[in-house]
Structure 1
């Protein structure tokens, strides 16, 4: 048989390959990574000059040419033609036009598209994580302020979809604050992995040139270089860590969002959503539809799905540099950030504006007997019963009150006396006024003084701790942003200095 290589007269790129792969990749690069390319080219050039790999005159000419490219080419207006393989080669082509083939080809000394690409993707993720963390911190603060505002506001807490016990809205929101705190910490942990520079790994094994990886990392605002060069081009845990953290955060946020949806229903009605966040029906005049909560729910689910898709794409891929983790996959993941931003902004606005309807809460508490646990507890403390005895008496009282459609506080004492005498053979020492106090929601909350409870003392202490957490997390984020801003200024100074030698 004839060697197919001898008869192959095809020319790159195949038109179908161009339209289905190369053009979308080019568009993704110009849409998302132009600033990253610029920063990497400049940082690498500074390093080549300062290590002596390029002389000052060469570096100066290249620096001026890079500025010329930026001034003369508008990335958004570029259309992929197939004349070059990708955005990287387009920039190199433009550089060669300005400084010649020899000098234009020297910028790529000691680097590869492999380390460039993963550095680009880390810069892209870092930028988006900065925005995401900032918005998450804003939600965190909104939740803390709402918890402070609502720390005395009674609500019905549910288990298994049924009224269970009274607590305060501040106590409920404090539970949300705690998992949001942990989710933000998971974002910072993902950030720590993203914040290590792959530049200098070159294709796989670094280079024989005397490069300075730490300098490039510093100029690009990374915490440090990622140590192992194979890991730089093959590792995807910076991707999986980021999107795992996002998936978990929005899976978790979806749960209180769903609670809010139920609590705004006509049948429950313990949350009031203001007119500014309510839409009307086109046909039913009575309708007040709190549809922002529905949008929060589906946007959270979309974010979870998009983040999980990123993990799925990484599944069963080889531990090497490969396209599965690159270009189009990275662009796909950015959709998770886009919907995440919307959720965090809208949820923060909602939390700041919703209020509890005290009349509906009082009505729901009265008809559901949810304070009855405290009666069982009080029978242990005041009558010397076992908890199981107290539980059975309290259950009989609740059953009788619900059957009559009554109110535990005003209608529960007679059933209580009967149940107590039947169970114990004696008369309870509790009079009607004491009984009414013990089964009131205010008393129920006030005696829950243990660590983590809804009573004022533990809840005030918890909120004070959350404020400390918020300050710590905000400071961590500010430090990262400050380091990157300092790095950008340093890169500009060092790059501009090169042009004086041209």
Structure 2
């Protein structure tokens, strides 16, 4: 029974209680050393450089601090074990620095900074790296889709609305449509990355400091794109997390819709997509089975990515606008896991679709079925026979019902049937020649005449494809520039620190 005496005996009477250690502080410490040890040291180096440049600490103090930080940076901090004498990784590293340079010198590093702004800075630095990883993988999958579109500009297929065959299109048109949703996802990631990549350093606890620090300098040294200017916002604002979660959820929702189509197309009934052997599993009892397990395993990864991102909203809604543990170490890994599942899904999809085989013959065959070219027949009656669209729609609908009732196919439609039905509806006969009917009901012609901007005609999909290839190359270059800039800033920070250390 949990009594005061029992709990005090188990937990002790001084901070931190064993229950608190085991269930909160140790798990948090494990998260910190896994993700934040390196960013913490980088932040500390940048802060020491800035303090020296602002003449807040002396050259000798800066030298000692930076030399000590270099030694700590070389340690394998992931092997550190939680020590209840120090509340978290912050105090562990501070203790190590004290051992190396003395308490007085080490204490100088904590001028004009707080765990508050350090923590937020760490979170933003780790998150931007992970966002860049998923953006890079997203572009790889976009390239795969564009390659498939290029191979299938003339692959005629039924397009579906309300899960029913609607009109002929091409597989290239379909792949380009999905690519474009992912291209918008990439743009959302870019905008979100700009929000994430803002420095909160210098906000200190929440109101800045009386010391003459240079917030822009630490921002520059750590590769940020600028500041979160308002110091209260630095500490209290958590919309960089919810914005990131939103973008991840939008993209994975797009992926989930595509995967639903893909798994349908892989079924024996559809018989459209054929996954190559590395991505299928056989049944343990039914030797004829080719189970698309790679995609089936990827589908829950997409769902997990959405769930982990949604967790951010579940935790943060209705919390105070201020410094709260809700936004801290126990929350951040949910976004990391969401990104991890997203990258896994994109990797599998990239491999599966790079090797995908398409049953082009059956797609063309199905484009001839079900009168899905009826819209073009109605359009011909308007363009060539002078009818209003309402009259042509009514006549075409009656023709389709007549053909279905009499088990006739599109190729069986004759001038006599059109003449009879049009006379019944209009009071006079529409004269259509057999070759006009055949052309109107030909799915290839249907696609070719739809050359309006964004249409399914091969000429138009080829134009769109070429534009997308150029845009993707630009996105790739922009992404590489961001990645290279961060690497350069990391090297520059080391150079600045070494310059101070080596200065005589």
Question: TM-score interval w.r.t. the shorter chain?
Answer: over 0.9
TM-score, normalised via structure 1 length:
0.94
Q: Which moved more, 1:29-38 or 1:423-432?
A: 423-432
Q: SS in structure 1 opposite 2:368?
A: helix
Residue 57 of structure 2 aligns with which residue?
54
Which residue among 488, 494, 497 is the counterpart of 1:495?
497
Q: How does 1:464-483 map to 2 (within 5 A)?
A: 464-483=466-485
Q: How does 1:210-359 map to 2 (within 5 A)?
A: 210-359=212-361
Shift of the alpha carbon at 1:413?
5.9
C-alpha contact 1:221 1:483 (8 A) present in aligned 2? yes
C-alpha contact 1:153 1:356 (8 A) present in aligned 2? no
Residue 452 of structure 1 aligns with which residue?
454
Residue 96 of structure 2 aligns with which residue?
94
Which residue among 366, 383, 392 is the counterpart of 1:390?
392
CA distance in 2, matches of 1:70, 1:472: 36
Q: SS in structure 2 opposite 1:63?
A: helix
Shift of the alpha carbon at 1:349?
2.2
Are residue 112 (structure 1) and residue 106 (structure 2) matched?
Answer: no
Q: SS in structure 2 opposite 1:198?
A: coil
Residue 68 of structure 1 aligns with which residue?
71
CA distance in 2, matches of 1:15, 1:374: 76
C-alpha contact 2:203 2:231 (8 A) present in aligned 1? yes
Shift of the alpha carbon at 1:265?
1.9
Gaps of 5+ in 1: 1-8
Q: SS in structure 2 opposite 1:367?
A: coil
Post-superposition CA distance 1:338-357 (Å, at most 9, x none): 10101111222233222331
Which residue among 27, 34, 37 is the counterpart of 1:31?
34
Shift of the alpha carbon at 1:95?
0.7
Q: SS in structure 2 opposite 1:226?
A: coil
Shift of the alpha carbon at 1:179?
1.2
Residue 162 of structure 1 aligns with which residue?
164
CA distance in 1, matches of 2:201, 2:235: 9
Residue 122 of structure 1 aligns with which residue?
124
Residue 6 of structure 1 aligns with which residue?
none
Are residue 22 (structure 1) and residue 21 (structure 2) matched?
Answer: no
For the structure 1 residues 268 and 404, does the alpha-carbon distance in structure 2 shift closer, same or farther, using more than 3 Å as the test? farther
Post-superposition CA distance 1:163-195 (Å, at most 9, x none): 111100111111112211111111111111111
C-alpha contact 1:409 1:440 (8 A) present in aligned 2? no
Shift of the alpha carbon at 1:59?
1.1
Q: How many residues align structurally?
A: 494
C-alpha contact 1:446 1:455 (8 A) present in aligned 2? yes
Q: Which moved more, 1:411-420 or 1:46-55?
A: 411-420
Shift of the alpha carbon at 1:402?
3.5
C-alpha contact 2:395 2:425 (8 A) present in aligned 1? yes
For the structure 1 residues 15 and 414, does the alpha-carbon distance in structure 2 shift closer, same or farther, using more than 3 Å as the test? farther
Q: Which moved more, 1:273-282 or 1:247-256?
A: 273-282
Q: Which moved more, 1:74-83 or 1:106-115?
A: 74-83
CA distance in 2, matches of 1:239, 1:443: 50
TM-score, normalised via structure 2 length:
0.94
Residue 372 of structure 1 aligns with which residue?
374
Q: SS in structure 2 opposite 1:327?
A: coil
For the structure 1 residues 414 and 86, does the alpha-carbon distance in structure 2 shift closer, same or farther, using more than 3 Å as the test? farther
CA distance in 1, matches of 2:160, 2:356: 19
C-alpha contact 1:401 1:412 (8 A) present in aligned 2? no
Gaps of 5+ in 2: 1-11
